[in-house]
Amino acid sequence: MGLQIENLSKQYGKTPVLKNINLHLKKGEIVGFLGPNGAGKTTLMKILTGSLNRWEGRVFFDELNLKTQLQDVQKHVGYLPENNPLYTEMYVKEYLYFIAKTYRLSNVNYPELLQKTGLTDHQNKPIKTLSKGYKQRVGFAAALIHNPPFLILDEPTTGLDPNQLIEIRKLIKTLGQEKTVFLSTHILQEVEALCDRVIILHQGQIVLDSPLKDLADQKQQIVKVTFDFRVETEALKRLPQVSRVVNTHDFDYEIYFDTPNDQRPVVFDFAHDNGLKILSLQHKIENLEKRFYALTQGK
């Protein structure tokens, strides 16, 4: 059960773009699909959603065969394409009615759909007047309209500002509690923030498939923090288990801790005790970054 991909290959003309992909996504997993531009991510996503044919191999969504039961598969899969194409002249609710009509869906629970995607207060607005983050929510609502158990998201946060990014990640995380989510991105932090598992594609081949927790450095972590004011690096160095502090930019610091336990609360307390505000706080998994570049460098 879940999504099963077996020996999937695809060529554009004579050029191989996907080479013998084998993957199994379990139910309820959020899987991050990383790779440099041109690796083949979009091609795979298009195949999985039935918008590309002429490929080799076998794909099953639960027991449904993508090649022979495409229409049934599409009832089980929601797809948010890259760049989220929308009819922006339409009103939010009108657009969702339109999508439902296109899919011949008669029993859509609109209040629930709007609530889930945070659009309740925006349903009567023209899409073109919405911010990029809210336009993205409309794309999510369209992808979720038939309440599919599988969700395929192609670079769902590209172009969002930091606040919108946080909101959309929250939405994906919530959706991931009840759905199998396969999301492509070229942002390592996205995977770190959202995913249970990471897959790296490079030149059409899977070069890494690993639970995220296995990639975490067992000994060291880096907390990246931006304060609203300059801080003495010596003061940060006095925090427990700190081995190194780098002031990377004005008020930006990288703090290296010799412990695998999340030290963000320690930094938070430090800021509080010193009357500082935290403008951003990240927990960096050094190994994912290292592995990604090692596996895809210079290509």
| 107-109-115 Cα angle (round to 5) | 165
Q: Output the smallest distance, CB 149 to ligand ADP, in A.
A: 24
Give the chain's radius of gyration (CA, Å).
21
Q: Output the smallest distance, CB 77 to ligand ADP, in A.
A: 18
Of the pair 249, 299, the CB lying nearest ligand ADP is at 299
Q: Output the smallest distance, CB 203 to ligand ADP, in A.
A: 9
Of the pair 141, 200, the CB lying nearest ligand ADP is at 200
Q: Output the smallest distance, CB 44 to ligand ADP, in A.
A: 7
Q: How far apart are CA 21 and CA 14, in angstroms?
A: 18
Strand order in the sheet with 77-80: 77-80, 150-154, 180-185, 30-34, 197-202, 205-211
- Tell me the CA end-to-end span of the chain in Å, nearest whole number: 35
Of the pair 12, 87, the CB lying nearest ligand ADP is at 12
Give the residue ranges of DSSP H helices in 126-240. 132-144, 162-176, 188-194, 212-215, 233-237
Q: Output the smallest distance, CB 166 to ligand ADP, in A.
A: 24
Of the pair 39, 160, the CB lying nearest ligand ADP is at 39
User: What is the β-pairing status of strands 252-257 and 64-65?
Assistant: unpaired
The residue ranges that bind ligand ADP (CB under 6 A) are 12, 17, 35, 37-43
The tokens describing 268, both together, are 């938070």
Of the pair 37, 68, the CB lying nearest ligand ADP is at 37
Q: Which single residue is written with the structure tokens 């959020």?
A: 30
